[in-house]
Each structure stands twice: as C-alpha cells, then as structure tokens.
Amino acid sequence: MARTKKRGDIDADYHAIRARLSSLGTVSLSNPSTIPPHVHSAEEVTFEPTEGVIADSYLAGDDVQEVLEEIDSEKLARSGVQPMLGDLNMNENNIDNTVHIDIGGNTTMDGGVGSAIISAPRVISMAGDKANDEAKIENLERVVFNNEPTASQIENPSRLDMNVGVEAGVSYTPTVGRVSWDSLEDTLVMYVQSGAVLVAVIVGWAVKLAANGDAP
C-alpha cells in the first residue's frame, strides 16, 4: 500500500534536491553559436486557400506575394479612392446611410408587388427636354397626393394630354372630384356633388346629371 507523503517529507525532498543540483557547478560554453532566423520572401511562401473559407477562393495567386498584390488591386477600398472594376452584387442586401448617389447611366428596379419602391424623397429634380424625349415619367398607373386641402397641387403645367378613349362615368366609377375626357361629348368633364345627386360638369359648356352614380 502506497504511503502518502506529509508536508514535512515534501519540504525535505525539495531541499535535498536543491542542494544536490547546487553541487554540480556551472557549465560554460565557449564560443556559443547563434542560430540565424529562418527567413523566406513572400514569393517563396505558397498559398493554398481553404475551400469554403475564402468563398471557394476568388484568389488566383499561388504565393503570398501574388495574393497580397491581388487583394490590393481588387479590394473595395473603404476610402473610395479606387474605382469599381465590375458590377457590385449585393446578394439581396441593403446599402444604408447614403447621402448622395450620382448615376451616370440608367437605373432599373424590379420586383413583385410591394417592392421596387422609392420612399419619402424630398425632391425629384429632372433635366432634359421634350425634343429629346426626356424629363418624363412613363407607364404610371396613378399619382397619389396627400389629402391636405392646401398642400397638394400641380404647378405651372403647360398642358395636360388627356386620354381621348375614355368614356366618362363608364370607363371608371364616377366619384366626387374626378376629372376626365369624355369621348362621347368630346370635352372635359368634372364630377361634383349637388345635394344627393352626382353631377358631371362639362367644363365650359353645360351640365350633365348622373343620378345615383350612373353614367350621364
């Protein structure tokens, strides 16, 4: 059965071993040599990308020097001093906190219902002229203004080109405030409420009545 040493036994062993080691003396080496550091240039260190860690390796370099040069030439610099060399694929992620976007070409937005939205712009400033078929917004279904009585307005239009194929009160549901061209009367009509009767006013000519929302 093994004996458990007591504290006094351990201290005694320690002092005995220390005394023995001290009696051995000191060993001196004459002309000790210095081992030089093992140095390799960056070209001599090979590079083997780990699959799946570096995006299955977009880096084509075979050694560290080539990889560093490749990263320096292809990186997206945070300072903005280097221009893009190709398209930036955001992979359905956002670009946040932009102050100014300067577009030199076309901007295409796509997506289904509820997407491709420009929200809360303060000003949309357009340039160009009609002769060059510019400064226009195409294929709108509708323009919705806020409902403040004194704030929603269209300023300084030179003309409004109406859809002459519309039949007032038939092509759409007549409600108060709606204005359209009437292909039957070949004139502009505006719907107003007169008592319990919906009235279509032929602008500048006469009055057409449309009781209970029926076509005049």
Q: What's the mean per-residue pLDDT of the chain? A: 77
Cβ neighbour number for residue 182 with a 10 Å cutoff: 23
Percent of the chain with pLDDT over 70: 83
Cβ neighbour number for residue 201 with a 10 Å cutoff: 16
* R_g (Cα) of the chain, nearest Å: 42
**Burial label, 189 (beta-carbon count in 10 A; 0-12, 13-18, 19+):** buried
pLDDT band for position 106 (cuts 50, 70, 90): confident
Asked if residues 180 and 166 have their Cβ atoms less than 8 Å apart, the reply is yes
Of 114, 138, 142, the C-alpha closest to 126 is: 138
Residues in Cβ contact with 210 at an 8 Å cutoff, skipping those fewer than 6 apart = 169, 174, 191, 197, 198, 199, 200, 216
Model pTM? 0.46
Q: Percentage helix, strand, coil, to 5, in the chain?
A: 15, 10, 70
What number is the average pLDDT over the span 67-76? Answer: 82
Of 184, 157, 156, 159, the C-alpha closest to 169 is: 184
Q: State the pLDDT at residue 56.
A: 52
Reading phi first (left if > 0) and then psi (alpha if -120 to 50, else beta), residue 92 is in: left
CA–CA separation, 203 and 189 (whole Å): 6
User: Residue 177 corresponds to which amino acid?
Assistant: G
Is residue 207 predicted with pLDDT exceeding 60? no
Question: Which run of H or E residues covers position 30?
Answer: none
CA–CA separation, 170 and 213 (whole Å): 10
Strand partners, 192: 199
Percent of the chain with pLDDT over 90: 0
Q: State the pLDDT at residue 205.
A: 47
What number is the average pLDDT over the span 139-153? Answer: 82
Straight-line distance from the first to the last Cα atom of the chain, in angstroms, rounded to the nearest whole number: 118
pLDDT band for position 213 (cuts 50, 70, 90): very low
